[in-house]
Every structure is written in structure tokens, then in C-alpha cells.
């Protein structure tokens, strides 16, 4: 890969990022299998060129946008973000991407739009996990429009100074750093603007365990485990656990989005 | 039952294997986990990998122990001599799995670990399985068999609920139950079915 020249960002954490090996060999990407090592093993067969994203719904300029056209006017930034999985482990990842709001502004979001829905590629011949049952493919996710427009929310096309590895959601994925990782949908092929809260895959599968909002919250436990602490992957065998921060430490940027909301109810 | 021409030489060969060799062989999976950990082959998340591997090895021995009686009854292969070794090895790996959880995974956050044990059914099932296995491990010696008489068999019936809870514990911790999970459940149910059916024969 040609190395990517990305601008630094004021939103980056100064925490030490995980290694490229850690980030690319420990993935939940069920499209390639259940095990965290499956994506690294099987995602190589995914063809990501050509790639386009269909943008539809309540937008002024709907259409199928080739990835090159989407990327042409954007300035790529490096965003070193904390990444907290709902399974209570975490990493620090130096993503490369651009703000989702810039794309949404280009296609013209209509005032009636309240939510953004996302969809992952469905291509079972290259994504063997999609041949298995258990999940209703394709994977879908969604954000409220103000969450989507927040400057922390990015579409990422790379990490470290490389193009996005397939197992991490090539060629383009969402990153919402104050939410559990499953909100950050991978390999996006469709973005729809809508006035209704869109269905989301994990919420449909286990509504008691995975909410639509899925904000990182140490006070609201997953029914099967505590969310008060997390294990930092790569910290070492006897490193123990660290405390989980409200909104994964991004409260200054996003807490106002949820003012007055009961976050135990809207988990 | 497979024909005696096949089972007899197998049993003859097995008779020559001392049970200490089974104990020793039972430590190979542990040696493998230690080797992978020391060489980095365990993966980027050694904590979860060690914890899960120890749990899975415990499951091998638990299911293996349950397979010994059906193996004799239906295949004519006599492994009864090694049942104690298999059972104690199972308990050993369950204990290591529990230690890995407390020390490596929970980082000895005792309060959180204790709260989780009570609040999370799959953890409660797991710890209950461990507790049920303690009297079995403690009485796995000739002196206990002599002293307890008939009660020894009764106590060791606890292995059935213990393994059942262990299998549920294993399936319940998954986000989506994998085909391997269903396979283990199927094997356990099949072993139970042939065992309790054979009581009536």
C-alpha cells in the first residue's frame, strides 16, 4: 500500500495505539466467521474494488456514488480513538477517515430526516459467515441524525498509514467512538436517510442485551456481564482491568446529545 | 457393540497402559497452552485465549469421562481403569479455568467478580458446576470408595448436573451460539440419552 498522508486531529487521544497486528488479527466481523481470528483468515477473498455506496431516502441528491467520487473532495485525517467493544475489551486505534457530516452535507439531508441507516455488503460467496444462520444478513446499523453529524463520527478508509484492511471493514466503515464497537458498521454499501428509527442487527437479535443507542456506559451493565471495567487488549497477561469511562471518555463532545434522556432505558 | 475380535485386542493393549501415563498425557494440553503463551502463538488476547482454552479442555475431559461407560457397554472397550484419571484431570482444568478467570480476566477485582457470579446466570452455572465437582474430586480415592460404600455412587451422580451446567455455561457465554456449541450440546444429550435408556434395558 502507498502510505496515506493524513492530517492530525484535535480529537485524537494521546493514549498509545495498539499494534497493527493486534488491530488486524482480533476482529468481530461475523460475515467472515464467529471467531476473532476468522476475519484475518478469510477476509482476504473480499473484493473491494470497484465499490460504491448507494445513498437514498430523504436526501436532495440520492444515487449510487463510486467510492472514488466520495473520497475525491475530502481531506483525510488521522483520528486516534479509544475503541470499546460491548464484550468489555478495548483497544486504541489510529483510524484514517473523514467526518460523516461532510458526506451527508454534500448529498443534502432534508429537514424531515431524523435518522441515518447503514448497511454492510451482502456477498456470501466472498463472506462465508453469511452462509451461516444466527444473524439476519445483511448487517444493518443506524444513528440519530445529530449523532451522525457530530464531528467525532467518521467514515474511516484506513488505519495507521494503510488502506483499511479487509478484516477491519474495507474499504469504508463507520467509527462512532463513544458507542460500543458493533455500532461502527463495516464495509458500507448503503446509507439511507429516514424519519424512523431504523432496525439494527444486534438489537433485533437480542433487544434486552443490545440497544439502539449502545453508548458506552459503565453504569448500565450488559445482562450477562458488567460494563464497569474493561480489558485493554495488548496490555499484558497480568494487566488486569481498567475502569470504563462514560461515553468512552468522549462526554465533553457528546453528553449534550442525550440531555434529559434516561440512559438506563435508552441503552 | 463392535465385534469382540476388534475390542479384545484394543482392551489387551489398553491393559498395558498404566494410569499414571493417562495423568501425564492429560497434562499435554496444559503444556500446549503454556507453550503457546510463552511463544506468542496464543494470539493478541492471551487472557481470553488462555481462559477459553482451559475451559474447552475441561469440557473435553468432562465429556470424555461421561463416554467411558457407554464405550464399554456399546463398543466393548474398557476404559474404566482410567475414569478416575479422566475425572481428576477434568476437575484440574475446571479449577485452572476458574483461576484464569479470577486472576487474568477479572484482574482480582474480587467485588466485581463476586457480584458477577451472583448476577450473571451463565457465571453462576459455571461456578455451581465447579462446586458440584469438588466432592467428586475429594472422594476420588480408594479410601473414600471403601468408606462411603453405596453413597459413593450416589455422590458421583453429581457429575451429570455438573456437566449439564458446564455445557450450558459454555453455550450461554456466546453472543450467538456457534455450530461447535450446538455440537457439544448434542454430544452431551446423546451421552445422557443412551445412558439413561440403558438403565431400563
Nearest to A241 among B43, B107, B173 (CB): B107
Span B3-26, average pLDDT: 88
| Cβ <8 Å between B116 and A30 | no
On chain A, the residues whose CB falls within 8 A of the CB of B116 are 225-226
pLDDT interval class at B199 (50, 70, 90):
low
pLDDT for position A3? 67
By CA distance, what is B114's nearest residue in A?
Answer: A226
Q: Residue A206 belongs to what domain range? A: 20-256
Q: Is B118 on the interface with A (CB under 8 A)?
A: no
Span A188-197, average pLDDT: 98
Averaged confidence pLDDT in chain B:
92
> pLDDT higher for B179 or A57?
A57
What is the DSSP-derived secondary structure letter of residue A246? Answer: G
pLDDT for position A5? 81
Q: How many domains does chain A have?
A: 1
CATH for A200: 3.90.420.10
Span A94-112, average pLDDT: 98
> pLDDT higher for A83 or B198?
A83
Substitution target from B34, B47, B106 for chain A, most A beta carbons within 10 A: B47
| Cβ <8 Å between A134 and B177 | yes
Nearest to A241 among B46, B106, B119 (CB): B106
pLDDT for position B198? 60
pLDDT interval class at B175 (50, 70, 90):
confident
Averaged confidence pLDDT in chain A:
96
Q: What angle do CA A202, A204, A209 make, to 5 degrees?
A: 55
- Residue B1 in this model has a pLDDT that exceeds 70: no
- Residue A93 in this model has a pLDDT that exceeds 80: yes
In a domain, A89, yes or no: yes
pLDDT for position A43? 98
Q: Looking at the complex, report in whole angstroms how far the Cα of residue A16 sits from the nearest Cα belonging to chain B.
A: 16
pLDDT for position B2? 60
Span A80-97, average pLDDT: 97
- Residue A140 in this model has a pLDDT that exceeds 50: yes
- Residue A1 in this model has a pLDDT that exceeds 60: no
| Cβ <8 Å between B177 and A22 | no
Report percent pLDDT > 70 for chain A. Answer: 99
pLDDT interval class at A180 (50, 70, 90):
very high
Nearest to B116 among A26, A225, A238 (CB): A225
Span A171-191, average pLDDT: 98
Closest CA to A107 of A152, A75, A74, A70: A70
Please write the tens of the pLDDT for every residue from A216-263. Answer: 999 999 998 999 999 999 999 999 999 999 999 999 999 999 999 999
CB A18 within 8 Å of CB A92: yes
pLDDT for position A256? 98
The sheet carrying A63-66 orders its strands as: A63-66, A52-57, A188-194, A115-120, A140-144
Nearest to B112 among A132, A224, A226 (CB): A226
Q: How far apart are CA A7 and CA B177, in angstroms?
A: 42
Q: Is the dihedral of CA A144, A146, A149, A151 positive or negative?
A: negative
Q: Is B109 on the interface with A (CB under 8 A)?
A: yes
pLDDT for position A201? 98
pLDDT interval class at B88 (50, 70, 90):
very high
pLDDT for position B46? 94
Span A133-148, average pLDDT: 95
Q: Is B112 on the interface with A (CB under 8 A)?
A: yes
Closest CA to A37 of A220, A157, A167: A167
What is the 3-class SS of chain B, one letter each residue? CCCHHHHHHHHHHHHCCCHHHHHHHHCHHHHHHHHHHHHCCCCCCHHHHHHHHHHHHHHHHHHHHHHHHHHHHHHCCCCHHHHHHHHHHHHHHHHHHHHHHHHHHCCCCHHHHHHHHHHCHHHHHHHHHHHHHHHHHHCCCHHHHHHHCHHHHHHHCCHHHHHHHHHHHHHHCCCCCCHHHHHHHHHHHHHHHHHHHHHHC
pLDDT interval class at A132 (50, 70, 90):
confident
Taking any CB pair shorter than 8 Å as contact, residues of chain A touching chain B are: 19, 21-22, 25-26, 30, 34, 36-37, 87, 89, 132, 134-135, 205-206, 221, 223-226, 228-229, 231, 233-234, 237-241
- Residue B201 in this model has a pLDDT that exceeds 60: no
In a domain, A51, yes or no: yes
Q: Is B38 on the interface with A (CB under 8 A)?
A: no
Q: Is B181 on the interface with A (CB under 8 A)?
A: no
Amino acid at each position: 500500500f502507498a502510505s496515506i498522508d493524513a492530517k492530525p486531529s484535535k480529537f485524537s487521544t494521546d493514549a498509545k495505539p495498539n499494534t497493527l497486528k493486534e488491530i488486524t488479527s482480533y476482529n468481530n466481523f461475523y460475515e467472515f466467521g464467529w471467531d476473532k481470528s476468522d476475519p484475518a483468515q478469510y477476509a482476504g477473498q473480499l473484493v473491494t474494488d470497484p465499490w460504491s455506496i448507494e445513498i437514498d431516502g430523504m436526501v436532495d441528491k440520492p444515487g449510487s456514488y463510486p467510492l472514488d467520487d466520495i473520497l475525491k473532495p475530502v481531506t483525510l485525517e488521522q483520528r486516534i480513538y479509544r475503541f470499546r467493544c460491548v464484550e468489555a475489551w478495548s483497544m486504541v486505534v489510529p483510524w484514517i477517515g473523514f467526518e460523516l457530516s461532510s458526506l451527508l452535507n454534500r448529498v443534502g439531508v432534508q429537514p424531515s430526516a431524523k435518522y441515518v441507516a447503514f448497511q454492510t455488503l451482502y456477498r456470501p460467496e466472498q463472506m462465508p459467515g453469511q452462509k451461516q444462520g444466527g444473524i439476519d444478513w445483511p448487517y444493518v446499523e443506524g444513528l440519530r441524525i445529530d449523532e451522525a453529524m457530530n464531528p467525532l463520527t467518521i467514515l474511516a478508509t484506513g488505519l495507521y498509514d494503510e488502506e483499511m484492511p479487509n478484516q477491519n471493514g474495507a474499504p469504508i466503515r463507520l467509527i462512532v467512538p463513544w458507542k460500543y464497537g458493533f455500532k461502527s458498521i463495516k464495509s458500507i454499501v448503503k446509507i439511507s436517510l429516514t424519519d424512523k428509527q431504523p432496525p439494527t442487527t444486534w438489537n433485533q437479535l437480542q433487544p434486552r442485551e443490545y440497544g439502539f443507542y449502545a453508548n458506552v456506559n459503565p453504569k448500565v451493565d450488559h445482562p450477562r456481564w458488567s460494563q464497569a471495567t474493561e480489558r485493554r487488549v495488548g496490555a499484558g497477561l497480568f494487566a488486569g482491568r481498567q475502569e470504563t469511562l462514560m461515553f468512552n471518555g468522549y462526554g465533553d463532545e457528546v453528553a449534550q446529545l442525550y440531555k434529559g434522556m434516561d440512559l438506563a432505558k435508552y441503552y | 457393540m463392535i465385534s469382540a475380535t476388534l475390542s479384545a485386542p484394543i482392551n489387551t493393549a489398553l491393559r498395558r497402559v498404566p494410569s499414571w501415563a493417562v495423568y501425564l498425557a492429560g497434562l499435554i494440553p496444559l503444556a500446549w497452552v503454556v507453550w503457546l503463551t510463552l511463544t506468542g502463538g496464543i494470539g493478541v488476547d492471551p487472557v481470553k485465549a488462555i481462559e477459553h482454552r482451559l475451559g474447552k479442555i475441561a469440557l473435553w475431559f468432562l465429556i470424555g469421562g461421561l463416554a467411558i461407560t457407554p464405550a464399554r457397554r456399546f463398543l466393548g472397550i474398557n476404559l474404566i481403569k482410567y475414569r478416575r484419571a479422566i475425572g481428576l484431570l477434568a476437575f484440574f482444568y475446571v479449577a485452572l479455568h476458574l483461576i484464569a478467570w479470577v486472576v487474568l480476566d477479572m484482574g482480582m477485582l474480587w467485588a466485581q467478580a463476586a457480584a458477577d457470579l451472583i448476577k450473571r446466570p451463565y457465571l453462576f452455572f459455571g461456578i455451581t458446576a465447579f462446586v458440584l465437582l469438588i466432592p467428586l474430586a475429594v472422594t476420588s480415592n480408594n479410601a473414600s470408595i471403601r468408606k462411603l460404600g453405596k453413597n459413593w455412587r450416589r455422590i458421583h451422580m453429581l457429575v451429570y448436573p455438573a456437566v449439564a451446567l458446564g455445557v450450558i455455561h459454555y453455550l450461554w457465554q456466546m453472543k450467538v451460539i456457534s455450530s461447535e456449541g450446538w455440537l457439544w450440546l448434542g454430544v452431551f444429550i446423546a451421552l445422557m440419552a443412551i445412558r439413561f435408556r440403558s438403565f431400563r434395558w
